[in-house]
Amino acid sequence: MHRHRLTHRIAHLSAAVIPLIYSGCSTNKFATNKRPAEIILPHDGNPQTFKDIERALAEYDWGPTHYAECFGCQTNRDVSIRYTGLTKDIKADDGPVKLRIVALIENTSSQGVEHRPSGVTFKPTTKYLMWVNRRNDKKAVWGFIELGTDYTPTPQAIGLLIDCHHRPKPNATDDADFKNCSDYAFFRGTEAAYGASNTAAYILKTGWIGCDPDCCTGTKYTTLPQ
């Protein structure tokens, strides 16, 4: 009689424990996606290695798609950007030791779109990686890597990544977008502005990410103006 009760009690406890173990495994598996997207970039760029890059990035957390405010673009969804992996732990004065991919950008249109703050033109139907790293003095620098004919595994920095200094309302999320520091309404949709049909397409907003303790935007300066 006692043995039957003991067996029944063990079975009852086991049934209660199993869901907890399963839940813990699921949570841990999800949490592993929330880590820095520090992938190995292939030496050569071709359609297959570009697919390999995207497959590697798919192992990390992806953010919502934002669309750039694009003047002269064919539609208001020509250029998209979404973060990958962690961004909110990045510090402007102490950049990541390893080159980190913080966003995937895509120009889905049939025309080139100039990103005027950086001087980079996003080629038609081409994807780009936005990356952040550190230079010798530890300050964070940033740039783009084209997943196209001008691909390079050793990209040159465009400029410094700077803290937007929005206190006391710090940004608490990973994110990437085309914004200036003055655009502080997070997750707010932007209305596209259209130029004349013969006007070249361009973006005026800087590259922007959520970072510690606030948000950061990319400059074209290697040293900040005094």
pLDDT at 189 over 50: no
**How are strands ordered across the β-sheet holding 201-203?**
70-71, 201-203, 113-115, 120-122
Q: Is the pLDDT assigned to residue 188 strictly greater than 60?
A: no
Q: Are 113 and 200 a contacting pair, CB within 8 Å?
A: no
Query: How many CA atoms within 13 Å lie on the side-chain side of 23?
Result: 5
Residue 44 has pLDDT above 50, yes or no: yes
Decide if pLDDT at 173 tops 80.
Answer: yes
pTM of the model: 0.80
Q: How does pLDDT run across 136-166, given as a tens digit for each residue? A: 999 999 999 999 999 999 999 999 999 998 8
State percent of the chain over pLDDT 90: 68
pLDDT tens-digit map of 59-72? 999 999 999 999 99
The whole-number average pLDDT for the span 38-47 is: 96
- In this structure, the number of other CB atoms found within 10 A of the CB of residue 1 comes to 5
Task: Give the residue among 140, 135, 132 at the shortest CA–CA distance from 103.
Answer: 132
Give residue 223's pLDDT. Answer: 79
Contact 195, 155 (CB under 8 A): no
Alpha carbon distance 224, 201 (integer Å): 28
Domain parsing of the chain, residue ranges: 1-31, 34-218
The C-alpha atoms of residue 135 and residue 125 are separated, in whole angstroms, by 31
Mean of all residue pLDDT scores within the chain: 83
Q: Distance between CA 157 and CA 143 in Å, rounded?
A: 5
Model pLDDT, residue 222: 81
Report the C-alpha gap between 74 and 54 in whole angstroms.
26
Residue 120: φ, ψ to 5°: -95, 135
Terminal CA-CA length for the chain: 85
Q: Tell me the pLDDT tens digit for each residue of 73-109.
A: 999 999 999 999 999 999 999 999 999 999 999 999 9
Beta-bridge partners for 81: 66, 105
Is residue 45 within 8 A of residue 169, CB to CB? The reply is: no
* 175/102 Cα distance (integer angstroms): 8
Q: What is the rounded average pLDDT of the residues 112-132?
A: 97
Residue 192 has pLDDT above 70, yes or no: no
pLDDT the model gives residue 7: 47
Q: What is the pLDDT of residue 19?
A: 38
CB count in 10 Å sphere of residue 152: 11
